[in-house]
Amino acid sequence: MTDEIFYSPLTGLNERLRKREFSAVELTRAFAERLGKYGPRFNAVALPLTEIALRRAKEVDDDLKHDRFHGPLQGISFGAKDMLSFAGHPTTWGARPFASQVFDETATVLQKLDKAGSVLLAKLSMVELAGGGGYRLAGASLFGPGLNPWNPERWSGGSSSGPASAVAAGLVPFALGSETSGSIISPSACCGVTGLRPTYGLVSRHGAMPLSWTMDKIGTLCRNVEDCGIVLQAIAGSDSKDPGSAGKSFYYTPQYARKLSDMTLGFSPDDPDWADAESRPALEAALRTARDLGAKVLEVSLPEFPWGSLTDIIIGTEGGAAFESLIASGKVDELADPSQAAGLKANLGVLAKDYLRAMRIRSLVKQKFRELFTTVDVLVAPSRYNVAPKVSEPLDGPDPFPSGKAKGPGMTSLIPAGNLAGLPALSVPCGFGGGLPLALQFVGPAFSENSLLAFGREFQARTDWHLRRPPLSF
């Protein structure tokens, strides 16, 4: 198995499995060996499941032998963020107080992928409790800081740190992550992989750690845009066990996607001014490419709201309720980052009137986005305005968006804004700054995933940033 295999798209791997160029067992064993070699280097693995994966791969080989085909994910290994339960095995949520936690039911998304013939190879590391109390250290995890395959002195991003590192290093073909406010888009950008955050409610969260019932979303981190569409089709759909389920399915249909020339792309000319000096040239070039994809373009700006306060209050209040028993027991003090423990304790003190006021303002946020999407179909902006931070530096350093740096705020608040409104987002690699990856995000109205994928697919057809591989021989 050459490196080409480890960085192949899902359709390529599946086609070679069908042609019997190698078996599912051979492919699974190759990825397992690579995960065992490099996974610990990046603190990416929470729980290897090699023996179980090989048994499942043997079943897939039997299906393939008898021409029982189940789609493009059949025989493909993957990893899952350790917030998703896998029956009979530890699901730690990245936190020491839950290190021995075992559930007797498997998360819906893992059941769906198993039905599609995918092979769960490992649970992957994450920031403890998905950062629900706020954290200031990259090492806020039971498994240590997520290290970036492009430079292990840099962070892989949070809270889906393990999934981002594992996909970037070619340790798994794809991985499942989660986002409440940035936990797919940000690590995807840091590690140079393609990440898709779906519309709130499109993918079941049954069997996933609850942080914020009104904002949590399960999504995917992949090699390219097409892979994201394929995986989303497999995991999306109604689920009566998730009260937040939208009752909708998703079908990846690039052949029926609207022409880009029939759509309007919204952007802010102020965005590059917010980037640091080493990131600005690549982001400027990427935004020019995005504006030249064939769609009509229109300068826009986000509606003005206190984005940080809104997300802090809503996630904090709902997270405090979700982890009330942990806080009351005192075990919250076992967390790796003291600021996370302090934040969770403080969350229990949020007044009901403040939470309700934030939720009322949130309804205005959704209304303003509906109005914005009457003028544009998709928004584009940097996923991050700078490269991955050093692991040794606190994450709550100087304000990355100091006042007076640009004429306007641009799209700097698109991550919290999009999550508050429950909107889908697609992050695609778009260049490098100081040898580290940068990315653009495409954001659209609810359930517009196929439009986002159309923009991302055309962007990747014109660039090769998603094909770059990190040097693993430090």
CB atoms within 10 A of CB 54: 16
**Euclidean distance between CA atoms 167 and 191, whole angstroms:** 9
For helices 338-347 and 307-322, the axis angle rounded to 10 degrees is 90
- What is residue 437's DSSP assignment? E
Catalytic site residue 81? yes
Element (H, E) at 249: none
- Residue of 8, 77, 81, 204 marked active site: 81
Distance CA 337, CA 109 (A): 29
- Which strand (E) or helix (H) includes residue 151? strand 151-155
Question: Is 156 a residue of the active site?
Answer: no
Residue 301 catalytic?
no
Q: Which two tokens stand for residue 54?
A: 């090989």
Give the containing element (helix H, strand E) for 425: strand 425-433
Distance between CA atoms of residues 47 and 166, nearest Å: 13
| 105 vs 86: CA distance, rounded Å | 7
Please name the residues in contact with 297: beta carbons below 8 A apart, sequence gap of 6 or more: 264, 265, 266, 267, 291
Contact 8/167 with Cβ under 8 angstroms? no
* Candidate list 8, 118, 156, 159, residue with the active-site label: 159
Which of 183, 188, 204, 451 is catalytic? The answer is 183
92 contacts 101 by C-beta, under 8 angstroms: yes
Of the candidates 287, 293, 289, the one whose C-alpha atom is nearest the C-alpha of residue 262 is 293
- Residues annotated as catalytic are 81, 159, 183
